[in-house]
Homo-oligomer: A and B are copies of this chain.
Amino acid sequence: MLITIDLQSEIPLYLQLKTQLIKGIATGELAEGEPLPSFRQLSADLGINMLTVKKTYDQLKQEGYLTMHRQKGAVVNGQLHARMTDQYVLTLKQQLAPFITEAFCYGMKKAQFTAICNALYEELEEGKEND
């Protein structure tokens, strides 16, 4: 899986890495049970510090995406859908609200906003099929 890090970006390195790994899990490019690269290898490949990679893995582990395995290292979890709790839905709402409020101010219609979301969703669904 190709991962790119932008050292000029305002987005923290560990977040850039995190979103790309989650996307890989979403599309199935990183399949259930598949081990991720080791800290040292990935940090060397990306040219960043080992602890920055560890921080990403730690968060993914805490959010249920990964499990640490004595022999394989970091392994992609299955059963992720079990994590869609009411609390998650509530948090998602709070996170989306500012974006929708801004779009509304800028005159974006509900239909256009929905279309953007659907397009992003379908991108993932298509990726999931091509495995």
Question: Hey, which bits of chain A sit against chain B, CB under 8 A?
Answer: 19, 22-23, 25-26, 65, 80-81, 83-84, 88-89, 92-93, 95-108, 110, 113-114, 116-118, 120-122, 124-125
Contacts and interface: CB of A to CB of B under 8 A. Distances in A.
Minimum-distance CB pairs A-B, first 8: A81-B107, A84-B106, A110-B121, A100-B120, A19-B98, A104-B124, A26-B101, A26-B104
Consensus secondary structure, chain A interface? helix
Oligomer: number of copies: 2
B92 A99 contact: yes
Nearest to A112: B89
Most B CB contacts (10 A, CB to CB) among A95, A98, A106, A110 go to A106
Contact of A110 (B80, B84, B118): B118
